[in-house]
Amino acid sequence: MSRYTVKGSDALDDKIEADLDLITKAVRPHADAGILLGGYGRGEGTPFILPDGTQTPFNDYDLVVIVGTVNSAVKMHFKSLEKQLAEKVGLPVDLCPYARAELPTREFSLLNYEMKYGHIVLWGDENILQNLPAYPHGKIPLSEGSRLLLNRGKLLLDIKQRLAAPEPLTETARLQFIKFIHKIRLAFGDCALLAAGKYDIAYSVKKERISTIGECPDREAVIEGFRKAVALKEWGDFSTLRDFNITAEFKLTAEMFRRFFPWYRQQYRSNECGLLKAAALNLKWNGRPLFRHPRLYLYDAILELLSENPDPRKLTNTLFSEADPAERFYLLQQRFS
């Protein structure tokens, strides 16, 4: 049975093990512990099926690394390591540093919840994540779904920006955009499950529960899209998607996003932080002491950016800048994702 995937081969496991060994040797001298999360950490990674039928890793390698102190120099150091390692393994490597002393007070986020209950410790104390809070099952803040949708909206904007260019898509870009659209379909299902109180970290559970979600925009399309995206996640045979029309699928998905996201935000009430913190963040990033978390303005901005004809006035009022709206959004989304 595969350790990292649902349907992957022993040879794929060996390849993933070799990549993780390489990452461990490079990063271990700089961190007390390394925790593998994401699809591989849950044992639900995607085997990418090559034309000859063999399998290769497809997911990014996402790790949280435990260090003594986190500051700008530490972050820059791990960013440098990420670049070096990505070139060696041929896939993106994400190294997110967490300060050991801050583990007991880490926020109740979807990332931290999924890491605590679905991970593999690659080196260091096997019980290191017991220091995280005991995040209660079934009580994930619904605002976490909005953060997820914001990040997936960014992927849609990536596609929109590229499709606006005159050059035809390369096969690499086409594959990437198919992956993006399926990630967005997963996010619709995840958020519908969150809203229904039926979320689970395991896709094996979620694909059984998806048919029991409540009413939401495009309900049947959300269910069908989620199931197809899970199937592709379990067995990444993209040759079955030769006729996948990126332009048409982008348009349909963007339209669904612009209906689904406002609906989801209506399922809960949250400013995502206190008034004083919101004012301080807005003063720093938006130049004015506003009393809503800056992320809330990004929620409005992404909906406008994904519209067929974005209104420059509305974008100025949500991004608080006359700069290029997409560039401004990318800057703030990276900070507040």
Are the C-beta atoms of residues 113 and 119 closer than 8 Å to each other? no
pLDDT, residue 2, reads: 82
Q: Region 50-62: what's the mean pLDDT?
A: 96
CA–CA separation, 20 and 229 (whole Å)? 26
Are the C-beta atoms of residues 142 and 267 closer than 8 Å to each other? yes
Are the C-beta atoms of residues 146 and 153 closer than 8 Å to each other? no
Mean of the per-residue pLDDT values for the chain?
97
Q: Region 28-33: what's the mean pLDDT?
A: 98
Task: Collect all residues with Cβ–Cβ distance below 8 Å to 327 and sequence separation of at least 6.
Answer: none
pLDDT in tens, 207-237: 999 999 999 999 999 999 999 999 999 999 9
What one-character-per-residue DSSP string does 190-208 give? HHHHHHTT---S-HHHHHH
Q: Region 136-163: what's the mean pLDDT?
A: 97
Distance of CA 76 to the CA centre of its chain: 21
pLDDT, residue 69, reads: 97
Q: Region 87-98: what's the mean pLDDT?
A: 97
In the chain, where the domains are located: 10-131, 143-265, 275-336
The CA-atom distances, in angstroms, between 191 and each of 277, 304, 333 are: 26, 21, 19
> Any idea what the Cα angle at residue 23 is, between residues 20 and 25, rounded to 5°?
110
pLDDT, residue 101, reads: 98
pLDDT in tens, 108-135: 999 999 999 999 999 999 999 999 999 9
pLDDT, residue 10, reads: 95
Instruction: Place domain 10-131 in its CATH homologous superfamily.
Output: Beta Polymerase, domain 2 (3.30.460.10)
Q: Region 93-117: what's the mean pLDDT?
A: 97
DSSP state of 29: G
- State yes or no: pLDDT of 43 exceeds 70: yes
Are the C-beta atoms of residues 157 and 302 closer than 8 Å to each other? yes
Helices (H), 196-293: 203-209, 219-234, 246-265, 275-285
Q: Region 9-30: what's the mean pLDDT?
A: 97
Q: What is the pTM of this model?
A: 0.96
Task: Report the DSSP beta bridge partners of residue 47.
Answer: 57
Element (H, E) at 26: helix 10-27
pLDDT in tens, 263-308: 999 999 988 999 999 999 999 999 999 999 999 999 999 999 999 9
pLDDT, residue 270, reads: 84
Q: Region 179-207: what's the mean pLDDT?
A: 98
- State yes or no: pLDDT of 1 exceeds 80: no
Q: Region 161-167: what's the mean pLDDT?
A: 97
CA–CA separation, 191 and 149 (whole Å)? 8
CA–CA separation, 318 and 227 (whole Å)? 34
